Structure formats: structure tokens, C-alpha cells
Amino acid sequence: MSYRAPVKEYQFIFDHIVDFDKVRATDLFSEATSDLTDAILTEAGRVAEDVLAPLNRVGDLNPARLENGVVRTPPGFAEGYKALAEGGWIGTAADPEYGGMGLPMAVTTAINEMMSGSCLSLQLNPLLTQGQIEALEHHASDEIKATYLPKLISGEWSGTMNLTEPQAGSDVGALRSKAEPNGDGTYAITGQKIYITWGDADFVDNVCHLVLARLPDGAPGTKGISLFLVPKKLPDDNGNAGVSNSLKVVSLEHKMGIHGSPTAVMQYDGATGWLVGQEHDGMAAMFTMMNNARLGVAAQGVGVGDGAYQHALAYSMDRQQGRSMIQNGTGAIIDHADVRRMLTTMKADVFAARAISAACAVAIDMGRATGDQAWQSRAAFLTPIAKAFSTDTGIQITQTGVLVHGGMGFIEETGAAQYYRDVMITSIYEGTNGIQAMDLVARKLMDGGETAFTLISEIEDHAEAARGRFPELAEAVWQAAETLRETTEWMVEQKDYNDRFAGAVPYLRAFGRVLGAHYHLKAAMAGDASRAKWAAFYIKRLLPEHAACLAHAREGADALYALSPDDLAA
């Protein structure tokens, strides 16, 4: 089955759902006209369909491998990457001063979704480079920017992030990697990092690693960590990749999915690196990259979910099985009510998650273009929701895609299982979804819930405006938003953060469900009869999940700890 990029869907979302015209109205993004963005999305869709999609299965069947210290990528990946680099797709949001397009993050998010929906394993490479570009733009010295940014933006070089160590996963402050000043402005980096996505590649001249390490006078914990740029090859006097640095790929992980993407164990043995940002302030610089990547991973969840939906839909329209229960049925399994339920849920959820991610990207663009704290707060608030809701949704969609195939979904040759295996990692990337939820109910509610309440009020105001055309749907959305408001008030009142954390995941899930219903209702108001049908399905059948989630969220932590480890083991 061929992949079809959601170009028209994004055009509709930009025009009618997420107020992208506000982005175009800013001085910073005034050149992102409708004609320009439509042309860019159309071309990105063509690349995704024609260049990347044929590589998806190839990468799964021909995993990246390490041979004599050299990472070998799957057949065709080099050519696919070359198409991305030469087309300028790596630097779409990057600063034009260094060769980037300077496009809004909303457009980049749409492009990233198309690329990941067609071939996640390869798309991971430019996604990480994009995050490194943004981190360097914000925190690196002018000299580092001049040397590295043009090469990263052009795709000649690629970038990674190095946080995790064997003993330091989510607890980054437990890292042991160290940095010693060399006395010439550079540092000697020593340590081992694990789970380094695209830690090496045979189709770029250089791989640039952002590495967290501790200086000799660095305090314990995260406050004593610094960030260093450590290239595989040291730039020569002309800024080109020169002699090899003192680092290597020790091994590649054998993974559940994304086989085409090499996930490396990296060893640094006094490797030369340059400080990025201020000493002992590495987490601030690294979080710039991580927040960029969190929205990118949200787009990955949507993209792979959409790919799985398209795959399942094609199968359901072709597979003949059983007796049709409807008039004028085709005899294919798409006639069956439960298969229709699965497919409808998949597509309705794709739209909801896509709209949430696009709304987050628009908030980022507005915050950057205007400097308005309200937009910046909204972007920060929506980021964990977009990341966790979209990737959880992607996992559910791909799992359902296997079920649509029935027994054939369990057979690798159909390709249905690959989507499920590949997308699972997105719920772990850039902080697990549980950590995203904890961030939402803690740090993101530190304003007393002001940002959350503003969003909820907007949902209620739109529902009020929709009562004339869709009274039943509008009432359901309004009531759901009001229940969400009450639970948000409960969250803000809890002084014991463990009570918040105990219900963080269902709270985030509920917020995503209500936002999804809001965007479906907006689509019904702006679109045709088909959009109204989709809104009715989502609001009547999927939105009610929010009530159970919010009830769960308000229960606090006592019941969890009433069960002892002995009870759990019994």
C-alpha cells in the first residue's frame, strides 16, 4: 500500500482550526503566505510519498549494523537522506542567516509528520539535527554557530543528543561523564552514553554530539551539569571535517522497532569538545533541544498512526470475509460494524492528535514572533499534552491497525506490525509520557492554573458559539470542559505533589480528549457535512472517556500506597 501525505488535511487545520493566520500576520513570519506554505507542504508530501515511503519496509528488514567500528545504514537510506538534505528539509525552521528557511514551527511540524509517517527510522536523523540547530542558535558562541550551523542545516553534518548513561536515565543528575579543561578553550570529555539515536551514519561527513558532562567544580545533581559539542571529526582550519576525535560507537542496540535507525552506545575517551552555553547550566541548553524534540516526537506519533490507519483501511477494503450486514455491501470486512468502529476511531483520533500538535506549534511560533508571555506559557503547557497524547494515540492506532488485519496482522509480511513496533519508542523518547504528565500537573500549573483555565474558557466560549448549529455536540463539549476546569482546580489545590502525580496521566489524557473534541467541533463549524459526522462520532463516542480519566485523576495517591510491595507480589 502506498502512503498518502496529509497535505489537504494540514491546509484545512491551518486555515480553520489553529488560527495560523495569526502567525502569518507577525513580522517574523509575514512571508509564510498561504501560497508559499501550500507549495511547501505539497512538495514535502511528494518527497514523503515517493522517496521515503519505499524505504520504510527496507529499513525494517535490513537493520543498521556495526561493522569493524563503522555503522552501515540500510539500502537506500543514503539516497533518501540526500533528497532531504538537498531539498532543504532539515533546516526548514532554522535561521536564514546560516542557510535555513526560517519557516514557522507549525509548517516544520507538518513536514516532520509526513516524513515520519512515511519512514520513521530515517526521519529520526533530521529531527535530532533540527533540535541541535535550535540549541546552538540559542546558546552557542558565534564561533560555534559559524562553524557548525551551515553544515547542520545543509545536511552535510548531522546532530545527536547524549543524555542517558547506564546508571542515569530519567535521573540525569546521576551522570558520571566528566569534562576537563584543556587550557585552550576546549575540554576533554570522558564517559559512556547509551541510547544515542543516530549516533553515527555512513552518509554524512560528520556527526556532532551534544554531550552532558560535569566539570571538576560542578555541583552534584543537575545544577552542576554542563553541555558540550563533541564532533566525531574535528573541524579543520577551513571548517570542514578533519581528523577523528577520541570517541567511538561501542555497539548498536537490538530493538523492538525502528530497525533502520542505529541506536548507539557511545564511548568518549578524552574527546575534544566545546562548551555550549554557560558552565554548570547545561540542562537549560539541552532542554531547548529536548522541547523542540518533544513536539517533533508528537508529530511522529501522529504520522506513524496515520500510516497505520492508511494501511489498515486499504486492507479492510480488499479483504473479503464473512457476510455483509448492510445493504449494497462490498463483501469486504469494512462492511462489518466492529471493523468500521476501529477504522473510524483511528481516523478521528489522528485528526485530534494532529490538531493538538499543530496548535502547540502555533503557540510556539506566536511566542517567538511576539515575545508575548501568554503565548509562551501556552506553548509550554501544550507541549507535554501534545507529546504524550499524540504518542499514546499513535500506539493505540497502530495496535488497532493490527487488529483490523486479524490474524494477518500478527504476520510480519503484511507490514501492520511494523507500525506498532516502530511507534512504541515515541512514548519513551524525550521523557516518558508519565514524566510529561507529571510536568503538566506540577511545573505547568505553577501559575495557579492560569494558562489551563484560559484554554478551558476558550473551549467553553467556542462551544457556546456552536450551540446554534450543533446544540447536542456543543453541550457535551461545554460540560466536558467544565469538568476539566473543576479537576484542574483540584490539582492546583493539592500541596502534596504526589497526589497530583498519582492522577497525572489520566489528567493529561482527559485534557487531550477535551481538546480533541474542541477541534472536531471547530472543524464541524468550518467544514462540510463530513466534518460534522466526524465531530459527532468523536464527541459522542470518544469524548466520554474524559469523565473516567478525571475521576481517576482526583483520587490522589493514598490508594496506590495502601498496597504494599508484598501486596503487589502476592
Give the pLDDT of the chain (570 residues) as one tens digit per residue. 589 999 999 999 999 999 999 999 999 999 999 999 999 999 999 999 999 999 999 999 999 999 999 999 999 999 999 999 999 999 999 999 999 999 999 999 999 999 999 999 999 999 999 999 999 999 999 999 999 999 999 999 999 999 999 988 777 888 999 999 999 999 999 999 999 999 999 999 999 999 999 999 999 988 899 999 999 999 999 999 999 999 999 999 999 999 999 999 999 999 999 999 999 988 888 777 777 789 999 999 999 999 999 999 999 999 998 888 888 888 899 999 999 999 999 999 999 999 999 999 999 999 999 999 999 999 999 999 999 999 999 999 999 999 999 999 999 999 999 999 999 999 999 889 999 999 999 999 999 999 999 999 999 999 999 999 999 999 999 999 999 999 999 999 999 999 999 999 999 999 999 999 999 999 999 989 999 999 999 999 999 999 999 999 999 999 999 999 999 999
Angle at 328 between CA 322 and CA 329, to 5 degrees: 25
Torsion angle (degrees, nearest 10) of CA 141, 144, 146, 147: 170
CATH code at 257?
2.40.110.20
Domain-terminating residue out of 281, 300, 318: 281
Domain-terminating residue out of 251, 281, 311: 281
- The answer on 178 and 61 residing in a single domain is no
Buried b (16+ CB within 10 A) or exposed e, 371-384: eeeebbbbbbbbbb
Q: CA-CA distance, 88 to 103, in Å (whole number)?
A: 11
- 416's grid cell: 501492520
* Structural domains counted in the chain: 3
CB of 340 closer than 8 Å to CB of 430: no
- The answer on 117 and 243 residing in a single domain is no
Residues in a beta bridge with 249: 266
- The answer on 165 and 109 residing in a single domain is no
CATH code at 78?
1.10.540.10
CB of 100 closer than 8 Å to CB of 93: yes
CB of 308 closer than 8 Å to CB of 322: no
Q: Tell me the CA distances in angstroms from 21 to 94, 106, 366, one per residue in order.
A: 21, 11, 11
Question: What is the span of the domain harbouring residue 206?
Answer: 159-281
226 belongs to a structural domain: yes
471 belongs to a structural domain: yes
Q: CA-CA distance, 257 to 254, in Å (whole number)?
A: 9
- The answer on 209 and 102 residing in a single domain is no
The residues that are catalytic are 430
- The answer on 272 and 221 residing in a single domain is yes
- The answer on 169 and 87 residing in a single domain is no
Q: CA-CA distance, 50 to 541, in Å (whole number)?
A: 36
- The answer on 136 and 24 residing in a single domain is yes
Q: What is the pTM of this model?
A: 0.96
Domain-terminating residue out of 142, 169, 201: 142
- The answer on 221 and 132 residing in a single domain is no
* Alpha-carbon Rg for the chain in angstroms: 24
